[in-house]
């Protein structure tokens, strides 16, 4: 019986192939570009090999494939191909299906030909961009991150009237390279499906295996290897952040929530304004906002009014170097309280802000959920990148600590990064941190006053609390 089972698997390995939920999700995605930012040992190359063989055999469940087709499989080197992509493809190609194999060197495939005429050519990034020129392809599979010029060259490998499907399976071990800027941040591209997955998404990895792989790795390396997260530098301020966990889409705003606003004012530096809802579980939802430089008080008010959608704002806060802005906004009917920069917690104001963000962003043990969610519509057109990006996500994923010498000369303490050094601004994220701190202080103050003053007097002075 075991021999018969093995024989059947050899005859039709795809029929007996198992997939975890993340692999199934990407298989069913209909976008022409599917990208897997997965940790190590999560099954990204396994999925890529299964997908390519389905195309080559004309057995793809969601793609129309007119045989024969041309496929490219590319990876950093032929040595890596021999040990990874080639072994996985061998596992899923039915026995006796190949009619011809050309070797680039000993035991390393250069081209394979199927009975139906389909061909898979194997490419190495070491060959350079020129070797990726040629006639159109039906499928191109990049296993691990390619150079940008090779990626761009391959996108013109499309025959007239023939679709081109592109697969990228990678762990972002190189950090925030062009892939992060051009692909990961391009959240508005409807042709691209992006998947993130980590060790916990692979049900066949045991806890002992996970612990063994994590030994000796730095916290940043674990984030890359375990979760497939982009890490540019050590010391990410929002190390708790996960797109899959924290990003939500809001079609309709719930008027039963308590609504607030917060503004990190500026003129030369952008003004960052956020519309924030607190739900019945006391979770924070950043559902709308803008970040724009050189806005007058009138323009800030107009942009704000266009985004609140008739919601009743309970209260709001402002932090600005120019005290006139608060008065000018109040004269226009936008009343904001100044942020109190007198924290009693944390070693510094910046640390207090970071701690408060982490408090809401981290997964709670009891619920398995965070208490902070960000809308997917906080987008703007980036002239430098030539595409729409979610500027708030960009802030979260680029904010790092810098270590600077203290006044005493001996102590090194973390500070917020200088945004001009990296060309980014963090006005929206700082506004959110100001809100989290101010909201908690206001909530604590109301709870204390409720023991001393009549409820209506508290409401008149501080707004209706979310209880």
* Residue 24 lies inside a defined structural domain of this protein: yes
Residue range 272-298: average pLDDT?
A: 93
The three state secondary structure string of 327-362 is HHHHHCCCCCEECCCCCCCCCCHHHHHHHHHHHHHC
What average pLDDT does range 158-165 have in this prediction?
A: 78
**What is the dihedral angle through the alpha carbons of 346, 287, 184, 235, rounded to the nearest 10 degrees?**
0
53 with 119, same domain: the answer is yes
Q: Decide if 253 is inside a domain.
A: yes
Q: Are residues 261 and 364 in the same domain?
A: yes
Give me the mean pLDDT over the 341-349 stretch.
52
Classify residue 1: in a domain, yes or no: no
Looking at the fold, whether 72 and 122 belong to one and the same domain comes out as yes
Pair type for strands 372-375 and 247-248: parallel
- Same-domain pairing of 379 and 260: yes
Tell me, yes or no, whether 227 lies in a domain. Answer: no
Burial of 66 (0-12, 13-18, 19+ CB in 10 A): exposed
Q: Please report whether residue 234 resides in a domain.
A: no
Confidence band for 427, pLDDT divided at 50, 70 and 90: confident
Among the three residues 199, 217, 235, which one is the final residue of a domain in this structure?
217
Q: Which two tokens stand for residue 262?
A: 């917060």
Q: Decide: pTM greater than 0.85.
A: no
Note the pLDDT of residue 151: 93
Q: How many domains does the chain have?
A: 2
For position 198, what pLDDT does the model report?
A: 92
Judgement on whether residues 207 and 121 belong to the same structural domain of the protein: yes
Query: CATH code at 54?
Result: 3.40.50.300
> Pairing state of beta strands 387-390 and 379-382?
antiparallel
Average pLDDT, integer, range 207-217 = 82
Rounded to 5°, the CA angle 222-225-229 comes to 85
Q: Are residues 111 and 197 in the same domain?
A: yes
Is residue 182 classed as helix, strand or coil in its secondary structure? helix
Q: Does 287 fall in a domain?
A: yes
Q: Which residue has the higher pLDDT, 301 or 181?
A: 301
Q: Could you give the count of Cα atoms lying within 13 Å of 349 in the half-sphere of its Cβ?
A: 7
| Domain membership flag for residue 115 | yes
221's CB contacts (< 8 A; 6+ apart) are none
Same structural domain for residues 74 and 181?
A: yes
Same domain, 369 and 428: yes
For residue 410, the domain's CATH number is 3.30.420.240
Show the domain range for 276: 247-462
Higher pLDDT, 226 or 419: 226
Terminal Cα distance for the chain, rounded? 64
Same domain, 114 and 22: yes
Closest CA to 304 of 266, 260, 254: 260
Q: Verify that 269 and 147 share a domain, yes or no.
A: no
In a domain, 222, yes or no: no
139 and 196 co-located in one domain: yes
Q: pLDDT tens-digit profile of 238-258?
A: 878 888 899 999 988 898 999
Q: Is it the case that residue 277 has pLDDT exceeding 70?
A: yes
Distances (CA, A) of 32 to 2, 28, 46, 51, 100: 39, 11, 19, 13, 29
The Cα 182–Cα 331 span in angstroms is 43
How many angstroms separate the most distant Cα atoms in the chain?
87
Of residues 220 and 152, more confidence is placed in 152
Same domain (yes/no): 257, 199: no
Least confident piece of the model among 1-10, 228-237, 295-304, 356-365: 228-237
Q: Is the pLDDT of residue 231 over 70?
A: no
Angle between helices 44-57 and 21-28 (to 10 degrees): 40
Give the DSSP H/E element, type plus range, for residue 258.
Answer: strand 258-264
Question: Which of 172, 201, 217 is the last residue before a domain boundary?
Answer: 217
């Amino acid at each position: 019986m075991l021999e018969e089972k093995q024989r059947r698997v050899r005859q039709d390995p795809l029929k007996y192939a198992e997939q975890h939920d993340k692999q199934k999700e990407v298989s069913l995605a209909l976008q022409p570009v599917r990208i897997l930012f997965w940790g190590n040992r999560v099954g990204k190359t396994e999925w890529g090999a299964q997908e390519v063989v389905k195309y080559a055999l004309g057995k793809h469940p969601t793609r129309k494939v007119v045989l024969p087709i041309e496929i490219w499989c590319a990876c950093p080197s032929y040595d890596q191909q021999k040990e990874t992509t080639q072994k996985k493809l061998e596992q899923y190609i039915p026995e006796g299906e190949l009619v011809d194999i050309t070797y680039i060197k000993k035991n390393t495939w250069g081209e394979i030909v199927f009975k139906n005429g389909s061909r898979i050519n194997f490419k190495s990034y070491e060959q350079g961009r020129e070797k990726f020129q040629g006639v159109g392809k039906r499928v191109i599979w990049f296993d691990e991150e390619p150079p940008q010029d090779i990626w761009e060259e391959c996108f013109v490998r499309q025959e007239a009237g023939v679709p081109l499907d592109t697969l990228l399976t990678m762990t972002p071990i190189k950090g925030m390279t062009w892939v992060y800027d051009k692909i990961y941040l391009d959240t508005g591209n409807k042709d691209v499906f992006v998947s993130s997955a980590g060790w916990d998404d692979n049900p066949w990895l045991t806890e002992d295996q996970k612990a063994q792989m994590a030994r000796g790795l730095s916290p940043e390396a674990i984030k890359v290897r375990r979760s497939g997260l982009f890490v540019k530098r050590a010391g990410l301020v929002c190390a708790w952040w996960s797109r899959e966990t924290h990003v939500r889409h809001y079609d309709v705003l719930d008027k039963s929530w308590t609504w607030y606003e917060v503004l990190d004012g500026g003129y030369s530096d952008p003004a960052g304004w956020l519309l924030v809802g607190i739900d019945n579980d006391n979770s924070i939802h950043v559902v709308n906002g803008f970040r724009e430089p050189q806005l007058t008080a009138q323009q800030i008010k107009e942009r704000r009014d266009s985004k609140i959608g008739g919601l009743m704002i309970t209260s709001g806060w402002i932090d600005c170097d120019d005290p006139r802005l608060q008065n000018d906004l109040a004269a226009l009917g936008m009343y904001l309280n100044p942020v109190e920069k007198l924290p009693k917690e944390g070693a510094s104001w910046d640390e207090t802000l970071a701690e408060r963000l982490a408090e809401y962003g981290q997964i709670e043990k009891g619920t398995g959920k965070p208490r902070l969610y960000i809308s997917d519509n906080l987008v703007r057109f980036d002239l430098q990148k030539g595409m729409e990006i979610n500027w708030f996500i960009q802030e979260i994923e680029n904010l790092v600590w810098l270590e600077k010498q203290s006044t005493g000369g001996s102590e090194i303490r973390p500070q917020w990064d200088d945004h001009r050094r990296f060309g980014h601004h963090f006005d929206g994220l700082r506004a959110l941190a100001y809100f989290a701190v101010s909201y908690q202080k206001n909530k604590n103050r109301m709870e204390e006053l409720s023991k001393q003053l009549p409820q209506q007097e508290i409401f008149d002075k501080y707004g209706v609390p979310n209880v």
